Amino acid sequence: MSFVSIQFAFFLPIVFALYWLLGRCRNLRWQNLLVVVASYVFYGWWDWHFLLLIAFTTLCSWLSGLAVEHTRRKHNEQGTRDHSQLVVATNIVLNLAILGLFKYYDFFVESFCSLFPSLSGDRLLLHLILPVGISFYTFQALSYSIDIYRRKLEPTHDAVAFFAYVSFFPQLVAGPIERATNLLPQFLGRRTFNEAQATDGLRQMLWGFFKKMVVADNCASYVNNVWSDIDAFPGSTLVVAAVLFAFQIYCDFSGYSDIAIGCAKLFGIRLMRNFRVPYFSRDIAEFWRRWHISLTTWFRDYLYIPLGGSRVSKSKVVRNTFIIFLVSGLWHGANWTFVGWGAYHALLFLPLILLGRNRKYLGEVAEGRLLPSWREAGQILLTFCLSSFGWILFRAESIGQAWHFVRQLFSPSLLSLPTPSIALVFIAIVVIVEWLQRSHEHGLDLTDVRHRWLRWIIYYAIILLILLFSAQQETFIYFQF
């Protein structure tokens, strides 16, 4: 079920009403059980067969926590060997094996056979359908096992609460990738309805719908048209397409995150912020602290730091940087374009981390000022251009197509007039609103606007834009991951 579907328009108010009705019960488990049932209905709307897969992943991770608790208790009481490391390792391998089978098996078979033309790999391919959001809920389940092993979290015996944690429908298929240390305790404690929080959730959802339905989908129409026949367009139009795709993927994914976080607020649940206006970053390191925060921090905490992070020799810092970006690229999809995209960002990031400048910009840009300085504006523009150039690899279906796009982009036709797009107007709205709101959680967090009538004018204006300019509905880009 998609957030931008008519089914969800009926689904959400029904679940919301039942949820708070059950919230009056003394037994918290009924409310959590509704979350599980609603989440499985939400997920099963695409293909109910994959419900068995998410249930298996969830069950394995929950049982691994209990097994770690059991083996540690026996170790402390009876002096037996502590098998907690083996338990967690088994759960990690099992879950990653499932992810690898569905997402990467055919890719690696095809890549291997391409090195040896005499081999025919067709009979080895499985042609499995990729379950929606498998990378998201797998990583969320794994964080629970790893945090228990690290003693950051106590195993829960409440299976219903744990199933609710893994399958919570607002963020199930495209994040944010939550940590058990943040989300699970919220399902173990009683929630009370907070009108102010729910109202803010509706505002955040409205902003997310605008970014997705008006900005991202209008950008998609232009971008898809250009990429379908690159040779038919001059380099100037390809530049516009590259810029539009940068905002398409941002407004599509951050729009989903806004809807998910706002929706969770309706149920008294706080999810982590997943984007912090990344296109206002002053270097590529700041960009990655602000883009898909839940994933970048996941890789930082569970891969980069265990490898030694930046507190090792320079050669190992280079190794760790490339590992984290290459794995991040591969996480996004089974295609060499994603690996190339990860390598590209590793090359951009490496000089900053080697020179110790990767944490230079931690605060808001132009803090306390309406406009940035000329230096800041130049840094923002350069960082945006570098990231947008990388998105060409992300959007391409092959390395060859990406190279063809770049060659055509830098052809003499670059100096011609580009084909205009109304999406540029909507992008301007997003840029202006998010610049003015850059220190707030989302674009429609208008707590600083004193006049209520002005706030309502803004809300109605956004609704009107959605009604008038919603483009042909496009699937959320990150559903494929």
470 — pLDDT class (breaks 50, 70, 90): confident
| CB within 8 Å of 383: residues ≥ 6 apart | 279, 281, 282, 283, 284, 286, 287
Mean pLDDT over 278-299 rounds to: 96
- C-alpha 221/C-alpha 197 separation (Å) is 35
Q: What is the mean pLDDT of the chain?
A: 92
- Confidence at residue 473, expressed as pLDDT on a 0 to 100 scale: 74
* 123 has pLDDT over 80: no
Name the more confident of 368 and 426: 426
Which candidate, 367, 196, 347, places its Cα nearest to that of 268?
Answer: 196
What span, in angstroms and rounded, lies between the C-alpha atoms of 431 and 240?
16
Q: Is the pLDDT score of 121 beyond 90?
A: no
**Residue 177, CB-side half-sphere exposure with 13 Å CA sphere:** 24
* pLDDT band, very low/low/confident/very high, at 265 (cuts 50, 70, 90): very high
Q: List, in order, residues 6 or more apart from 138 with CB less than 8 Å away.
A: 57, 95, 96, 98, 99
pLDDT of 479 higher than 80: no
Average pLDDT over residues 432-451: 91
Token digits for 271?
A: 């999810």
Query: Which tens digit of pLDDT belongs to each residue from 60-82?
Result: 999 999 999 999 998 888 878 88
At 4 the pLDDT is 87
Q: What pLDDT does residue 95 have?
A: 94
**CA–CA distance from 384 to each of 48, 242, 378, 381 (Å)?**
40, 11, 10, 5
**pLDDT per residue over 220-232, tens digit each?**
999 999 999 999 9
Least trusted range by pLDDT, from 120-124, 225-229, 408-412, 417-421: 120-124
pLDDT tops 80 at residue 363 = yes
Percent of the chain scored above 70 by pLDDT? Answer: 98
Residues 6+ apart with CB under 8 A from 401: 230
Q: Do 223 and 248 meet the contact criterion of CB atoms below 8 Å apart?
A: yes
Query: What local confidence, expressed as pLDDT, does residue 277 receive?
Result: 96
Q: Does position 17 have pLDDT exceeding 90, yes or no?
A: yes
CA distances from 127 to 102, 106, 244, 477 (A): 9, 7, 32, 21
| 89-100 pLDDT tens trace | 999 999 999 999
Q: With bands split at pLDDT 50, 70 and 90, how would you rate the model's confidence at 119?
A: low
Written as one letter, the residue type at 114 is: S
Q: What is the pLDDT of residue 130?
A: 85
How many whole angstroms separate alpha carbon 71 and alpha carbon 81? 8
pTM of the full structure = 0.94
Taking residues 406-422, what's their average pLDDT?
A: 90
Active site residues: 332
Which tens digits make up the pLDDT trace of 151-162? Answer: 999 999 999 999
Phi, psi of 290 (to 5 degrees): -110, -10
pLDDT digits (tens, 9 = 90+) for 304-333: 999 998 888 888 999 999 999 999 999 998
Which amino acid is it at 405?
A: F
**Non-local CB neighbours of 167 within 8 Å, separated by 6+ positions:** 35, 36, 39, 40, 43, 54, 58, 137
| pLDDT value of position 230 | 94
Select the more confidently predicted residue: 81 or 246. Answer: 246
Q: Looking at residue 168, what is its pLDDT?
A: 96
> For residue 481, is pLDDT > 70?
no
Q: Is pLDDT of 290 > 70?
A: yes
What CA–CA distance (Å, rounded) separates 407 from 401?
10
**Distance of alpha carbon 323 from alpha carbon 58, whole angstroms:** 27
Of all residues in the chain, the percent with pLDDT exceeding 90 is 75
pLDDT for position 120: 64
